[in-house]
Structure 1
Amino acid sequence: MECENLKLESGLGLVGDRNFGKNTYPGQNATLVEAEEIERFCMENARTIDLSITRRNIVTRGIHLNDLVGKEFTIGTARLRGVELCEPCSILGRNLSSESLSAEAVIKRWVGCGGLRADIIASGAIDRGSRIQAGA
Structure 2
Amino acid sequence: MQLSFRTLSTLTAALCLLLSLVWGLTPQWLLSFWDIEFSFAVGLVARRTAVLFGALSVISFLVRNEPPCATRNALSLGFVVGCWGLAVLGFAEWLNGHVGPGILLAVGFELALGLAFFQTRRVSVELETAS
When normalised by structure 2's length, the TM-score is 0.30
Over alpha carbons, which structure has the higher Rg?
2
The answer to which structure has the higher helix fraction is: 2
Structure ranking higher in strand proportion: 1
